[in-house]
Structure 1
């Protein structure tokens, strides 16, 4: 296990080509998404990353903000309608916000990454959404990944296990959808028609990928971007329930600067969202404390050293993301505290604050939610932008309170073993519509 910035730099940057994701984990993932950015290594990964970078540049991501906001408007409208239809006589509605976070994340990542509208916000049981739900990370996946480490790949794919059967069928179905989508997009491109601004369209226009590679990349974005977004949104609302003053401060900032989503013509740009210092501070503080992926593993492909210590080939090197993100040596004695203010810098004249992405730290390895180096999450700007839009809409419209007061103590929140960290059994909330926006 490594935690120091120096060791992290050696593994993730200086000697990154010597460290790969474990073969068994990549085999498991490739069964679902094929061979794309999450599963390739070495020169193949380097080439794919280089070819995909333009699609994830901020210049392109800012063009997706209207889409992020449109879907954010759609979900709070659907939640408000549920309130009026079922809870109009009550002071609040009791709902599992995890379910709405998942539906929101799926619709946004589907449209923004590949142009697929799952329709999950309007219908949680839509056929396309139900197909995708089968790919959601499960506690069973941990056992399967362990099995994949000792059982040959060809045998694993033939084992009569329901999880493998479900995942195989769902991946096959979505692969067919993505293949047809690429065919349609290529026809539009040939006719000089508008293909859209989604990530897949940008990659297609670049002409650097085969159709099969594009399908693999599309499935990768859906798989990597959906559950992680939902997890981040769930933890954000949870922390704002634990700290109601922060929730109120955030709501005030949003309402003062962002037009009401009730106005269908109200557009939101990247400049609008990026100009909200407290919103961005809250997002980063949540991602620091509760990043969707708590830890990751690398395996060295040759004998090497880390900080002068000999590491024999095929050693598992664990990178404990949550532990690094809350290390007092890096973040100070309040490292475990929810403190969005650490991401703000006061103006010299005392008139306000400015968001600072570094949290005042000079160390790049203190915030490891998206990792560092050649394997740093290519979608980190996308993820932050999407999260900020959704959280702005949710907190601007609703107030949130934990249904179970015992969960105010985060030690009472059970997080089952899974690739993506979320509270077990969802997160029940008392949700109220706050008038005036």
Structure 2
């Protein structure tokens, strides 16, 4: 990023001195032409230094391993831009020999430092976690939607917020929410069943039990209702009413479009704050959606405060234990989308999971009191369900890449890392590192999480057979790890059990059996750009 303020200040000062008459031969040029000339010369000089000289001849990181095929001016940016987020790093982690650090060059040869080993990850995430912060542009983009939440707070503010919120996410509180998860999962399954059966009848198939559904939108609606009831004490009715304003607001925020991708690229070249000022439709959608979501949350929080002030008992939910909740539904919805895709690709895993679910859980169409009978114990006693959930979260983590920037001069693995160096944490690469997961790292295999008969096998299954806890980066680690991990995993397990217990799914577009044929949209989470359409068949007997 060009230091515009410094360049502008020097240009202003220089223009004043040169046009003030102290250098007679320069005076005829005037102040404005002199300012423009000085600003342009400085900018070009700085650009030459930043794009060519520094990364190629002076950077302390230039001796680190890096991928081949760099463009002279753009490094690996062409490949990164053409691929889903995290995919190039997955290739590099398994093909570029390294000792824990890989340097690669991006747009205009900006240096990026990619962590590839447990020791490097431990330094960035744990022992030196506050040496590395979210980049300012990323904080601005997230802040447009989330406000000053835990997700973008730094330093002492982050420590204070996390300390205050941690008790609400303790497992003793999360376990009380399993009936909520299951109730909403049942409601979603029943609504999907009705849509499939009605669709079959309308298509001239009376008695038909199959239909095409878009898994991603259904997952979003159900998880939105779950976070509403479990986290905010309000039912948004997104399952029953897909057109309600809150559902549409979230859909607009996360909808991929050519204009969104163009604005994202402009944000890399300039700054997202400037891009946000452009009078284009995408900015209007973001502002309107964020305003509506904040208004809904503010209204709910005000209601809760009033009840607490009047000493009324509120519902059993997370917000009853704190005054603010920075949680969402997009990550779990993304996980559900990929779970349905992977199970459609692996019907033998799907059948095995369905058998376990039907053996241990009541059918969604059963009596209403069946919801209250589902507890954390019921979910925990299904080892294959938990194995499948863990493997989905490993194979397609909802957040493929998390950026950081060095807030001060520091080191990683003894390597000097100057202030301002961009650091990337890439769950999509770490979670499939052959060095940490073995030769089958790129294979979807839930059995890696299945406990064996002896203690050694059980310990290996707890980590999926990986050589380090840092091999599983879906929820990160350390002070910046996902505070809602227990909530998300419990919600995911209940949702997946209900869907697979009721439906047999297969891909509607058979070309997507080849994963390279799926266009994945970027953004905060990774999802199929054009949705995930599957043929769902209502399986009898449950």
Whether the TM-score (by the shorter chain) exceeds 0.5 is yes
Say whether 1:266 aligns with 2:370.
yes
Instruction: Specify the alignment match of 2:508 in structure 1.
Output: 403
CA contact (8 A) 1:10 1:306 kept: yes
Residue 110 of structure 1: how far off its partner (Å): 2.2
Instruction: Specify the alignment match of 1:328 in structure 2.
Output: 434
Residue 154 of structure 1: how far off its partner (Å): 6.1
Instruction: Specify the alignment match of 1:292 in structure 2.
Output: 398
- TM-score, normalised relative to structure 1: 0.91
Instruction: Specify the alignment match of 1:436 in structure 2.
Output: 541
Change (3 A) 1:57 1:122: same
Instruction: Specify the alignment match of 2:213 in structure 1.
Output: 95
Instruction: Specify the alignment match of 2:44 in structure 1.
Output: none
> Take 1:100 and 1:427, find their aligned partners in 2: how far apart are those partners?
10
Residue 361 of structure 1: how far off its partner (Å): 3.8
Change (3 A) 1:284 1:154: closer
Taking the TM superposition and a 5 Å limit, the aligned residue runs for 1:164-183 are 164-183=283-302
Secondary structure of 2:167's partner? Answer: helix
Instruction: Specify the alignment match of 2:133 in structure 1.
Output: 20
Instruction: Specify the alignment match of 1:30 in structure 2.
Output: 143
| Gap regions ≥5 residues in structure 1 | 205-213
Which protein, 1 or 2, shows the higher relative CO under an 8 Å CA cutoff with sep ≥ 6?
1
Alignment RMSD (CA, Å): 2.1
Say whether 1:394 aligns with 2:507.
no
Say whether 1:202 aligns with 2:305.
no
Say whether 1:44 aligns with 2:157.
yes
Instruction: Specify the alignment match of 2:22 in structure 1.
Output: none
Q: Highest CA radius of gyration, 1 or 2? A: 2
> Take 2:431 and 2:166, find their aligned partners in 1: how far apart are those partners?
26
Secondary structure of 1:318's partner? Answer: strand
Taking the TM superposition and a 5 Å limit, the aligned residue runs for 1:158-307 are 158-204=277-323, 214=324, 218=325, 220-222=326-328, 226-263=329-366, 264-267=368-371, 268-307=374-413
Among 169, 181, 198, the residue aligned to 1:56: 169
Say whether 1:77 aligns with 2:196.
no
Structure 1 runs, 4 residues or longer, greater than 4 Å off = 139-157, 352-356
CA contact (8 A) 1:72 1:104 kept: yes
The one-character-per-residue Cα deviations of 1:324-380 (angstroms, maximum 9, x if unpaired) are 10011100100111111111112359xx99994322445111000111110001111
Instruction: Specify the alignment match of 2:229 in structure 1.
Output: 111
Say whether 1:136 aligns with 2:254.
yes
CA contact (8 A) 1:277 1:353 kept: no
User: How many residues of Structure 1 are paired with residues of Structure 2 in the alignment?
Assistant: 419
Instruction: Specify the alignment match of 1:412 in structure 2.
Output: 517
CA contact (8 A) 1:131 1:173 kept: yes
Instruction: Specify the alignment match of 2:243 in structure 1.
Output: 125
| Gap regions ≥5 residues in structure 2 | 1-113
> Take 1:302 and 1:96, find their aligned partners in 2: how far apart are those partners?
46
Residue 141 of structure 1: how far off its partner (Å): 5.2
> Take 1:277 and 1:120, find their aligned partners in 2: how far apart are those partners?
31
Residue 201 of structure 1: how far off its partner (Å): 2.0
Change (3 A) 1:12 1:348: closer
Say whether 1:427 aligns with 2:528.
no
> Take 1:195 and 1:149, find their aligned partners in 2: how far apart are those partners?
45
Instruction: Specify the alignment match of 2:64 in structure 1.
Output: none
Residue 227 of structure 1: how far off its partner (Å): 1.4
Secondary structure of 1:135's partner? Answer: helix
Secondary structure of 2:470's partner? Answer: coil
The one-character-per-residue Cα deviations of 1:192-214 (angstroms, maximum 9, x if unpaired) are 3222222222113xxxxxxxxx3
- TM-score, normalised relative to structure 2: 0.74
CA contact (8 A) 1:13 1:372 kept: yes
> Take 1:355 and 1:239, find their aligned partners in 2: how far apart are those partners?
23
Instruction: Specify the alignment match of 1:7 in structure 2.
Output: 120
Secondary structure of 1:160's partner? Answer: coil
Change (3 A) 1:141 1:38: farther
Secondary structure of 2:521's partner? Answer: coil
CA contact (8 A) 1:101 1:234 kept: yes
The one-character-per-residue Cα deviations of 1:166-215 (angstroms, maximum 9, x if unpaired) are 221222222222222112112211233222222222113xxxxxxxxx3x
Secondary structure of 1:62's partner? Answer: helix
> Take 2:516 and 2:175, find their aligned partners in 1: how far apart are those partners?
38
Q: 136-145 vs 313-322, which deviates more?
A: 136-145
Residue 133 of structure 1: how far off its partner (Å): 2.4
CA contact (8 A) 1:141 1:418 kept: no
Residue 108 of structure 1: how far off its partner (Å): 1.2
> Take 2:529 and 2:252, find their aligned partners in 1: how far apart are those partners?
17
> Take 1:385 and 1:378, find their aligned partners in 2: how far apart are those partners?
13
> Take 1:287 and 1:161, find their aligned partners in 2: how far apart are those partners?
36
Change (3 A) 1:366 1:192: same
